[in-house]
Amino acid sequence: MTSENIKQSGADNLPNAEELLNILAQKLEPLLRPNTALVGIQSGGVWLMNRLLTLLKSSIDKNAVEHGTLDVSFYRDDYAKRGLKPENRPSQIPFEVENKHIILIDDVFYTGRTTRAAVNELFDYGRPASVTLVALVNRGGRELPIAPQIVAADIPLHATQNLQLIQNANGNLSLELISTKVAQDTNE
């Protein structure tokens, strides 16, 4: 994380997700080099990846940049507790992972468990040269020694609050705060 991240305490006025996406694109551009592939974690990370491919088209050839998606449902350490979500999608990695520089994209970083699951699944496809974790928002609450290297905003939240990335019918992104009486790990 860099000092240019938007820092916000609480979530009274959530930042504009579209503006955060532009910040993320600016931070990501210097990392794009030959032998790099983008991988989005379902579902918010995939939305971000697709939008980033469009925003960065002047720096990259969208068709030439290898990209794929991961659905980490079966790799989670809380699978027995959470079960399967109804919207599970197959992972699609249509390229050789071996020795690639992988940019792993997620929407909201929380405990690190989703990232751990994604890295485990990614290594089933091969051994990348490096993995860089990119997240739109770091909401705090890390439980594992994993953290995003690039984030657009740090928004510390209470354990009973969840932050969700929403994509409307036009493809526009927004952030929504969900408060619960009992903490649920929906975004990690």
Domain interval for residue 100: 6-81+89-179
Check whether 177 has a pLDDT greater than 90.
yes
Check whether 70 has a pLDDT greater than 70.
yes
* pLDDT at position 61: 66
188 inside domain: no
- Helices and strands (DSSP H and E) totals, the chain: 4, 8
Over the range 88-119, which residues count as b (16 or more CB within 10 Å of their CB) and which as e?
Answer: eeebebeeebeebbbbbbbbbbbbbbbbbbbb
Mean pLDDT over residues 89-115, rounded? 96
Q: In the chain, how many domains are there?
A: 1
* pLDDT at position 73: 85
Q: How far apart are CA 146 and CA 111, in angstroms?
A: 8
- More confident of the two residues 148 and 81: 148
Tokens at 26, concatenated: 């600016």
CATH of the domain at 40: 3.40.50.2020
